[in-house]
Structure 1
Amino acid sequence: MNEKLTPVGAVLALGVTQIIGYGTLYYSFSMLAADMAEDFGRSAEWIFGAFSVALLAGGLTAPWLGKLIDRFGAGAVMTIGSGIAAAALVACALAPNAMSFALALVALAVASNFVQYGAAFALLVQVRPAAAQRSITYLTLIAGFASTIFWPLTAELHSRLSWQGIYLAFAALNLFVCIPLHAWLSHGLARTRRGTAEPASQIPGVLPPSARTLGFALMVSAFSLQNLMSAAILVHMVPMLSGLGLGAAAAIVGTLFGPAQVLSRFINMSVGINLAPLRLAIISAALMAGGVVVLVVTAPSVPGAMLFAVAFGMGNGLFSIVTGALPLSLFGSEGYGQLQGRAMAARLIISAAAPFAFAWAMATIGISWSLGLIALLGSSAILIFAFVGRAMTPN
């Protein structure tokens, strides 16, 4: 077996389950939140607050999830996760009151960790470590269409069904599509673990053992800063642009973000597939921070805002690849699941807090100064990645 050959079947199967996982568990929520708030007699802010608390709870469970992935295999964990996701969607749909709905949201956030990128990347590493970086790039390109598919799909369903009916339909997708695909992937990994198929050889990391503790701390710090940029700006994209004076053009500018994400992944797949993950991380952080600087300097220029959306979207698209490929490159494939879980915990906790922090900052010091602070933090991520590069060089 060529260990560098991309496991096409695994990538395609995970592509389907990632589109469903992100579409049903994440992207659909904002479109249905208003109806949820009305049914439970709560404000939209309360509903989004409950969702943020659920994301925080999911972040706290991520390190434990990583240990499960290393012990039992990512395929088995994702199979169970799809079952939990289906049950959590049903629990949300049938919740009799707001508090039980909030508890179901926590289960939904935990299930998301079981089935989304962190677990999927670990599965690709376990299937074929030497091809994992290429496989991760291909997977993120496919999964990048989750919002493109599920935003209009959710809107169409919403014109015919209640939000409860939509969640029940989404539960069926997780139950009847994702569980069989994850179980099939789990079966292949189980055969390898039992020795009935040729086991994949482990690949070493480039960081020397003496630098790994510092390297991990630096990597997670940079990831957290990028996640802060992403989570803060994406949640407030349209009102932020409107507040900068773009008016009705804000919504149009926001639509460039998704295609830019896919474009950056396609470019990376086509011409940058062999680019070192650390260089890709620096490019990603530079595009995100640079895009914000362009927005601050040019506002309220529509062309400037469009350039921001494209640059920020491309950087964010590469960031998804980096979060899977850089830990593998630095630390190797042994214990990858646990490592990914620890890194994912910090990112998810930041994701939960960032929208509220950015909203407070915009109300307190203004949009332009808040964006300037975001750009400064993003630029710090570039410097941190540079320090990681120095740690790779033996003294």
Structure 2
Amino acid sequence: MAGFASTIFMPLTGLLAERLGWRGALLALAAIHGAVTIPLHAMAVRHPRPAGAAPADPARREHPGRRAVAHAAMRDTRFWILTATFTAHGLATSTMTVHLIGYLISRGHPTTFAATTAGLLGVLSVTGRLVLTAARRRLPVTTIVGAVYATQAAAMLAMPCSPPPAPARSLA
């Protein structure tokens, strides 16, 4: 469900920034954030256990084999290659997402369009997870990950080639 947060809040942020300016939008979003998260935090946080007390649920205790598996992974080169790859991918995706709104505005799109387009990334993220979960039944994970990375790279490289929006025509 977190993927849908950007679908709601990116367009809302664009609309608020357009109407209230960036400072007013920031204050409005802070008020919304506090109104939602403070009560949820108050309901969800439990009192801490006394120091040294073991968890009441035996399933929450650490399994003795987990430490050995973690140590084996840390010594495996493939683990570090995957770690570096996923870190680089996450960094590239985050950078692109952060700069997408500014890029679209610099190409001549209105702020609300740019924010809504960036917000649609959340819908695409959730949709992609559903499609990839279904694809795992027929394709190896390595093929799926390679296809996702290649598609994202092609989309990013195609962005500068897209034409700017046509000038708005008056209806008069």
Which TM-score bucket, shorter chain as reference?
A: 0.5 to 0.7
Offset, 1:55: 4.1
Residue 380 of structure 1 corresponds to: 154
Residue 325 of structure 1 corresponds to: 102
Residue 51 of structure 2 corresponds to: none
Instruction: Supply the AA of the counterpart residue of 1:376.
Output: A
Offset, 1:82: 1.2
Candidates 140, 147, 164, aligned match of 2:45: 164
Offset, 1:374: 0.8
Residue 350 of structure 1 corresponds to: 124
- Counterparts of 1:359 and 1:344 in 2: how far apart (Å)? 24
> RMSD between aligned alpha carbons?
3.5
Candidates 85, 98, 104, aligned match of 2:33: 85
After superposition, where does 1:225-374 map in structure 2 within 5 Å? 248=70, 301-302=78-79, 304-331=81-108, 335-336=110-111, 338-374=112-148
1:325-383 per-residue CA deviation (whole Å, 9 max, x = no partner) reads 31232127xx43x1332222211222333333333333442311211321232233144
1:112-140 per-residue CA deviation (whole Å, 9 max, x = no partner) reads xxxxxxxxxxxxxxxxxxxxxxxxxxxxx
TM-score using structure 2 length? 0.60
Query: 1:355–1:248: structure 2 CA closer, same or farther, 3 Å change rule?
Result: farther
Instruction: Supply the AA of the counterpart residue of 1:342.
Output: T
Unmatched 5+ stretches in structure 1: 1-51, 96-162, 167-246, 254-299
Structure 1's consecutive aligned runs of 4 or more residues displaced over 6 angstroms after TM superposition are none
| Total equivalences in the alignment | 142
TM-score using structure 1 length? 0.30
Residue 76 of structure 1 corresponds to: 24
Unmatched 5+ stretches in structure 2: 48-68, 165-172
Residue 197 of structure 1 corresponds to: none
After superposition, where does 1:118-157 map in structure 2 within 5 Å? none
3-state secondary structure, aligned to 2:107: helix
Q: Which has the larger radius of gyration?
A: 2
- Counterparts of 2:128 and 2:70 in 1: how far apart (Å)? 25
Answer 1 or 2: higher relative contact order, Cα 8 Å, separation at least 6.
2
Percent of matched pairs sharing the same residue: 14
Range that drifts further, 323-332 or 66-75: 323-332
Residue 56 of structure 2 corresponds to: none
- Counterparts of 2:113 and 2:31 in 1: how far apart (Å)? 24
- Counterparts of 1:328 and 1:251 in 2: how far apart (Å)? 44
Tell whether the 8 Å contact from 1:249 to 1:302 is kept in structure 2 after alignment: no
